[in-house]
Amino acid sequence: MPRIDVTLPDEVLAEFEMLVDEEFISEEQAVEELLTMGIDAYRVDEAGEDIGQDFIEGVQNNLFDTAADPGNIDHDRL
């Protein structure tokens, strides 16, 4: 397996070491799984884009038209 050297800020290294202690068997396993998850997060497939568009359209459909009088404001008294 290839080896790489990485320089991390102290805060990131401390978080990584805590994750290794709490969640993983070894540093090697932690590095492999965290890198794999990070790479997968950057991948964008067509299905993911469709889901995002559906979400946006759903939010837009739930908004009310502010040009109209949504709450009968003309009849409210101040």
Q: For the chain, which residues make up each domain, given as ranges?
A: 10-64
Name residue 5's amino acid. Answer: D
Spatial distance between the Cα atoms of 20 and 1, rounded to a whole number of angstroms: 20
pTM above 0.75, yes or no: no
> Could you report the per-residue pLDDT of 18-72, keeping only the tens digit for each?
989 998 899 999 999 998 888 888 776 555 555 567 767 766 666 655 555 555 5
Question: CA 37 to CA 44: how far, in whole Å?
Answer: 13
The larger pLDDT score, comparing residue 27 to residue 78, is at 27
What is the 3 state secondary structure string of 2-41?
CCCCCCCCHHHHHHHHHHHHHHCCCHHHHHHHHHHHHHHH
Q: What is the pLDDT of residue 2?
A: 83
Q: Please provide residue 5's backbone torsions phi and psi, each rounded to the nearest 5 degrees.
A: -110, 135
74: pLDDT confidence band, cut at 50, 70 and 90? low
Residue 9 has pLDDT above 90, yes or no: yes
